[in-house]
Amino acid sequence: MTDRVVVDDYEMGDGSGGRRTRRLGLEPLYAQLGMTEWHSPDAWRTVYERLRACYPEDELKISRSGFAP
């Protein structure tokens, strides 16, 4: 069992507001895999909502605040 689950994505978690991630050119890779819906600024919300069914809110955190002690 875990004490905490942290949901993060490339844009929230790259420390530059997503600029660093955009320079990596991941969008074509997602398209190539047929997963363009997962290369969206709101894709993390889908994961978060699914995890809410499994974890209490105090164990489910988002991005930087979730990694704090």
* Structure confidence by residue, pLDDT tens digits, 35-66: 999 988 889 999 999 999 999 989 999 988 88
From the list 5, 13, 1, 15, the residue with the least C-alpha distance to 66 is: 5
Total H helices, total E strands in the chain: 5, 2
Would the pLDDT of 19 be above 90? no
How far CA 58 is from CA of 8, 41, 62, in Å, comes to 16, 24, 11
pTM of the model: 0.75
Q: Check residue 45 and give its pLDDT.
A: 94
36: DSSP letter: G
Domain residue limits at 36: 5-67
Would the pLDDT of 1 be above 90? no
Question: What's the structural domain count of the chain?
Answer: 1
